[in-house]
């Protein structure tokens, strides 16, 4: 059975490394084609969606909230529109914090109970425990409804899907703006260490 640490820290690390790879491709595109990087960093898929820099900001927010609430590392996060340099800096800082996490500091936190707010709709999640019998609820002040999930379900049903959503949206914004990305640009860090046939 995969440990809670293995489901979180390496995955969040890989997502952030992928964001750096995609941002570097965007920077190369900007330099080669004269498209201002500020145009790319502020681009949105749709007017009511976050711009590219906020896609980075949200993945950072969730990574840091995970570190704060599950690992106990107090980290402040300012979710805002970032410049390219700020994106790189906040990702680097978060990667450094993730690198310090020891498996036992995550795997031993399964019994913690914390408040968890999500979106604008209330969700009563009476989830059958098929993996861990403890609850984890995480509180995000920017969200407005409450949900209670088992630790593993918080990770597998909310945290990881959320950061993947924002990573994918970052990729999609760059493709929409013409940055020449391919699936392997997205998958490169996820495939690190695998032997491909």
The rounded percent of the chain whose pLDDT value lies above 70 is 74
Q: Which residue has the tokens 């390219």?
A: 84
The predicted structure's pLDDT at residue 56: 96
Angle, vertex CA 62, rays to CA 58 and CA 66, nearest 5: 170
**How does DSSP classify residue 83?**
P
- pLDDT, mean over the chain: 80
Please indicate, yes or no, whether the overall pTM of this predicted structure exceeds 0.75: yes
Distance CA 94, CA 17 (A): 10
Phi-psi region of 119 (alpha: psi -120 to 50; beta: other; left: phi over 0): left
CA distances from 105 to 71, 98, 111 (A): 6, 12, 12
Q: Which domains does the chain have, with CATH numbers?
A: 4-110+151-191 (1.20.120.450)
pLDDT class of 127 with cuts at 50, 70, 90 = very low
Better pLDDT: 140 or 99: 99
Average pLDDT over residues 174-181: 98
Q: Report the range of poorest mean pLDDT among 4-13, 38-47, 94-103, 125-134.
A: 125-134
């Amino acid at each position: 059975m995969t440990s809670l640490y293995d489901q979180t820290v390496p995955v969040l690390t890989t997502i952030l490394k992928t964001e750096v790879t995609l941002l570097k491709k965007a920077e190369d595109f900007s330099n080669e084609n004269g498209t201002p990087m500020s145009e790319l960093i502020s681009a949105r898929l749709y007017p009511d969606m976050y711009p590219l820099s906020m896609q980075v900001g949200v993945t950072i927010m969730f990574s840091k909230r995970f570190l704060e609430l599950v690992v106990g590392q107090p980290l402040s996060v300012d979710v805002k529109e970032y410049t390219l340099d700020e994106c790189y800096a906040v990702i680097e800082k978060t990667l450094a914090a993730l690198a310090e996490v020891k498996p036992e500091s995550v795997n031993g936190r399964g019994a913690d109970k914390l408040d968890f707010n999500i979106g604008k709709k209330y969700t009563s999640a009476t989830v059958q425990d098929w993996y861990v019998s403890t609850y984890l609820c995480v509180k995000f002040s920017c969200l407005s409804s409450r949900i209670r999930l088992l630790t593993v379900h918080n990770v597998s049903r909310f945290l990881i899907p959320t950061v993947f959503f924002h990573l994918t949206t970052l990729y999609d914004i760059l493709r929409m703006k013409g940055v020449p990305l391919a699936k392997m640009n997205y998958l490169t860090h996820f495939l690190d260490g695998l032997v491909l046939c």
